[in-house]
A and B are shown apart, each in its own frame.
Chain A
Amino acid sequence: MGKFQLITKGLVKENPTFVLLLGMCPTLATTTSAINGMSMGLATLFVLVLSNMAISATAPYIPDKVRIPAYIVIIAAFVTILQFIMQAFTPDIYKTLGLFIPLIVVNCIVLGRAEAFANKNSVVDSACDGIGIGLGFTIALTILGLVRELLGSGSAFGYKFIDGDGILVFVLAPGAFMALAYLIVLFKKLTAKKDE
């Protein structure tokens, strides 16, 4: 598989949100607006690329029986680094995402890619895989956030274009499930057509 395909497969064929349905906790919780969804996606992308590279580089030296604790420590280190950086330079976004930044440590996507891909492939391939899956996640979260923001508060990326409130339920938790469900349906329909 070429490097380009490694990146594109994460966008559509193995999209973590719409196809693999991984990392649902941050997906549902942080997508109250397009900006929030995008920030969460980019934060995960950052951790995913770095942890994929580090794990792929160290995998041959890590005994099989302790690989999971070793991976978790590596991932947690990158997440904490990200947390420090966000706290220092983007305090507003850090405040909005709050608890969900530390929770990237236990995001199934990150550990899943480490187990399924990074520990069996080269550093460069793992970086491409991380970029692909991370971008797929970012795009999915941005779309979901945009849909919820459009319907729920009548704005897009913070620019309001209606007076008053939208359909409030879409900003709340139940709306996350509804919006995600319809987006998955739409995604399946579009990708099914492509295969024919």
Chain B
Amino acid sequence: MIMAVQSSFKNMTLCLFAVCIVSSALLAAVYAVTKEPIEAAEHAKTVSAIAQVVPEFDGEPVSDTIEVAGKKYPYYAVSKGGQPVGYAITTSASGYGGAVTLMVGITADRVIYNTTVLSQAETPGLGAKCTEPEFADQFKNWNPAEKALKVKKDGGDVDAITASTITSRAYALAVETAVMVYDALAGQVPADGVTGATNTEAGTESDAAEAGVMETDKGE
């Protein structure tokens, strides 16, 4: 082995400085090149998730965040031919292995169109089944005014996954939170007459939801 360079203070400083400069220059270059594809990939993922949970729409989904009961929820408003179709709302609740983050689509008539899991770390084969249609499809066309968003064990109408009540509860809670966010959104937009009523409703629901709801930006 050739060890020509001595470990003097000057040599060590210069060497580490050079290594760091070259490495960061390289990283900056790669970052600049991959920045656009990364953004495009993330955008495509979001758009496909939105398309899954709301009925057909045209144009770009309008992205925004709303603060409900002290927590911020990102959502996307979609419309077709100028008429609002509904909202795709991102919510999360803590499951068995961390946050279960969902995108919930709610149409203009306050019915859940569909839901999709954005991220979860539940046990494979047990809680992770929440991504499968067998469980997730029950939320299709779910009217929260008629059916309670709680697992049957807790007196609601949600069929829990066998041996994964905690995950099922988290899923139901996240959907319920989305309905709460929807009510806040609907109250905020034009229909002034119903604002008072929806707000009170949102208030009580948020109390029940608070315990398990996590901030979405904190999620995995």
Interface set of A (CB-CB < 8 Å, partner B): 32, 58-66, 69-70, 73-74, 76-77, 80-81, 84-85, 87-89, 91, 95, 119-120, 152-153, 165, 168, 171-172
CB contacts (< 8 Å) of A172 on chain B: these are 123-125
CB contacts (< 8 Å) of B37 on chain A: these are 88-89
- Check A84–B31 contact: CB distance below 8 A: yes
Select one of A32, A60, A66 contacting B124, CB under 8 A: A32
Interface centre among A76, A85, A119 (most CB of B within 10 A): A85
CA of A119 to CA of B1, assembled, Å: 8
CB contacts (< 8 Å) of B19 on chain A: these are 58, 62, 70, 73-74
In the complex, B191 has a CB within 8 A of chain A: no
B-side binding surface: helix, strand, loop or mixed? helix
CA of A45 to CA of B38, assembled, Å: 23
CB contacts (< 8 Å) of A69 on chain B: these are 16
Select one of B6, B23, B24 contacting A63, CB under 8 A: B6
Question: Given that A89-B37, A165-B125 are known contacts, is A65 also in contact with B7, CB under 8 Å in the complex?
Answer: yes
Interface string of B124-136 (1 = CB under 8 A from A): 1110000000000
B104-131: which residues lie under 8 A (CB-CB) from chain A?
119, 123-126
A-side binding surface: helix, strand, loop or mixed? helix
Chain A nearest Cβ from B28, distance in angstroms: 11
In the complex, B145 has a CB within 8 A of chain A: no
Question: Given that A73-B23, A84-B30, A171-B124 are known contacts, is A63 also in contact with B38, CB under 8 Å in the complex?
Answer: no
Q: List 9 A-B contacts (CB under 8 A).
A: A60-B4, A60-B5, A74-B19, A80-B30, A85-B30, A87-B41, A88-B34, A168-B126, A171-B125
CA of A70 to CA of B3, assembled, Å: 15
Question: Given that A88-B41, A171-B124 are known contacts, is A63 also in contact with B8, CB under 8 Å in the complex?
Answer: yes
- Check A66–B27 contact: CB distance below 8 A: no
CB contacts (< 8 Å) of A171 on chain B: these are 124-125
CB contacts (< 8 Å) of B38 on chain A: these are 84, 87-88
CB contacts (< 8 Å) of B200 on chain A: these are none
- Check A77–B26 contact: CB distance below 8 A: yes
In the complex, B11 has a CB within 8 A of chain A: yes
In the complex, B20 has a CB within 8 A of chain A: yes
In the complex, B211 has a CB within 8 A of chain A: no
CA of A119 to CA of B5, assembled, Å: 14
- Check B125–A168 contact: CB distance below 8 A: yes
- Check A65–B23 contact: CB distance below 8 A: no
Chain B nearest Cβ from A150, distance in angstroms: 14
Chain A nearest Cβ from B194, distance in angstroms: 40
CB contacts (< 8 Å) of B31 on chain A: these are 84
Closest chain A residue to B8, Cβ basis: A63
Question: Given that A81-B27, A153-B125 are known contacts, is A63 also in contact with B15, CB under 8 Å in the complex?
Answer: yes
Chain B nearest Cβ from A110, distance in angstroms: 15
Interface string of B120-157 (1 = CB under 8 A from A): 00011110000000000000000000000000000000
Question: Given that A63-B12, A88-B37 are known contacts, is A76 also in contact with B7, CB under 8 Å in the complex?
Answer: no
CB contacts (< 8 Å) of B11 on chain A: these are 63
CB contacts (< 8 Å) of A32 on chain B: these are 124
- Check B15–A66 contact: CB distance below 8 A: yes
CB contacts (< 8 Å) of B3 on chain A: these are 60, 64
Closest chain B residue to A77, Cβ basis: B23
Chain B nearest Cβ from A9, distance in angstroms: 20
- Check A91–B42 contact: CB distance below 8 A: yes
In the complex, B45 has a CB within 8 A of chain A: yes
Interface centre among A32, A65, A120 (most CB of B within 10 A): A65
In the complex, B189 has a CB within 8 A of chain A: no
